[in-house]
Amino acid sequence: MSGPAAAAPGRIAWLDLARALSIVLVVVYHVAVGARGDLFAGVDTRAARWWVEGNLALVPLRMPLFFAVSGLLAHGAVHRPLAAVARPRYADLLWPYLLWSLLFAVIAWPQYAPGDPAGFLWGEVTGMLVAASPYWFIAVLPVFFALARLGRVHRGALVAVALLAYAAAPAVETAMRAVEASPDLTYGVFQLLDNALWFVLGFTARSWILRRGERGAPWAGTVLAALFCALVATLEVAQPAPALHRVMELAASLSGLAACAALLPLPARWAPLARAGSLIGSRTLVIYLVHPLVISAAVMLWRASHAGEVLGDTVRSTLLVPALSALAIVCALAVDAVLTRWGPHWLLRAPGAPDRAPSDGTARARRASS
């Protein structure tokens, strides 16, 4: 490894890497699990099973990592006047959420409902109103930010409320299903209750997390990573009772997040990886917005091309997931470059904002941490 990478002012290399890791995990999950019915149709290889089962095993880490980093970076903005944060923390998230949810509804129907485009469009429109869109994680960020603002003075109470919501999430989901509540509403409520804790912990434990990440802790990180793997394996094999399952899932998430804080500062010292983390980590929003459309288009092309009949099962099950994941991320970065340079800027942020110069991600990182 080289010495510490030179980070742009206002940036923390390992946090960039954590943000990049979170979005890569999301994209890979949507390819390996979300598109498995097409990519792995008729394939029963060890590699195909590994992609699916491995991504499902990372459920306790994937979104907790994203929301914990988001909460940490929101710390400064939580304490600023509402007028100063209304656009970046509310309008600039809710606008692209609504816009891209509609774009997904218009574009993705051939994959999901080729015989009922109008029904698919209506379902996506009603779903996005209750955070049941493919972009639900963007919709809940303003809610979590508002929650952090309300509890910023009484942080212990804020954590207690978020922990109670996390503990209650499975029971609330079960109760809503029992009374035949809207599946979309049930999904949205569960995601709110299930993920608020991680944003709150990122916000309240910011100083502690940053101190732990200053040098890294390879031995402690290795132990924590091993604990995460052991807990995930136990959850999969033992299938514990619901209450115990929730406790073990919480422990897995906490150990996984702590392992990231202990281990990621070490590879972030390598300059090329730090630059890659900055490139991807500072563009998580556009990657989240673009990648579902790329995956949907790729699946439709895959169906039409009959490429599965040409490629062997081993090649399909080994290479398709990383190849399509990389394609989705590269396409999103290209979209970001084009829109940043030429526009229209309203595709990524609420209309009316002043134009900005071509971005290297640095200014965006400063905004995210302010």
pLDDT of residue 23: 97
Contact assessment for residue 139 and residue 94, using Cβ atoms and an 8 Å cutoff: yes
Contact assessment for residue 69 and residue 18, using Cβ atoms and an 8 Å cutoff: yes
Alpha helices in the chain (DSSP H): 13-29, 36-39, 46-57, 59-73, 75-78, 82-86, 92-107, 109-112, 117-128, 136-150, 155-178, 183-204, 206-212, 218-238, 242-263, 271-281, 284-305, 313-342, 362-368
Each residue's pLDDT tens digit, 290-304? 999 999 999 999 888
Tokens 């970001």 sit on residue: 336
pLDDT of residue 359: 42
* d(C-alpha 17, C-alpha 144), whole Å: 22
Q: For residue 130, how far is the Cα from the chain centroid?
A: 18
Contact assessment for residue 135 and residue 66, using Cβ atoms and an 8 Å cutoff: no
Each residue's pLDDT tens digit, 333-352? 999 999 999 999 999 999 98
Structure-block tokens of residue 130: 């209750």
* Neighbouring residues of 147: CB distance < 8 A, sequence distance ≥ 6: 158, 162, 196, 199, 200
Please give the model's pTM, rounded to 2 decimal places.
0.91
* Neighbouring residues of 363: CB distance < 8 A, sequence distance ≥ 6: 356
pLDDT band at 242 (very low <50, low <70, confident <90, very high): very high
Q: For residue 180, what is the DSSP state?
A: T
Sequential DSSP letters for 170-224? HHHHHHHHHTT--HHHHHHHHHHHHHHHHHHHHHHTHHHHHHHTTT--HHHHHHH
- Closest listed residue to residue 364, CA positions, set 83, 68, 92: 92
pLDDT of residue 212: 87
* d(C-alpha 348, C-alpha 111), whole Å: 24
pLDDT band at 131 (very low <50, low <70, confident <90, very high): very high
Average pLDDT, integer, range 183-205: 98
Average pLDDT, integer, range 344-363: 68
* d(C-alpha 106, C-alpha 94), whole Å: 18
Structure-block tokens of residue 291: 């990648």
pLDDT band at 355 (very low <50, low <70, confident <90, very high): low
Contact assessment for residue 365 and residue 282, using Cβ atoms and an 8 Å cutoff: yes
Tokens 């099950």 sit on residue: 317
As a whole number of angstroms, the longest Cα–Cα distance in the chain is 61
- Identify residue 11 by its one-letter amino acid code: R
- Identify residue 65 by its one-letter amino acid code: L
What percent of the chain shows pLDDT beyond 90?
Answer: 82
Average pLDDT, integer, range 208-212: 92
Mean pLDDT across the chain: 91
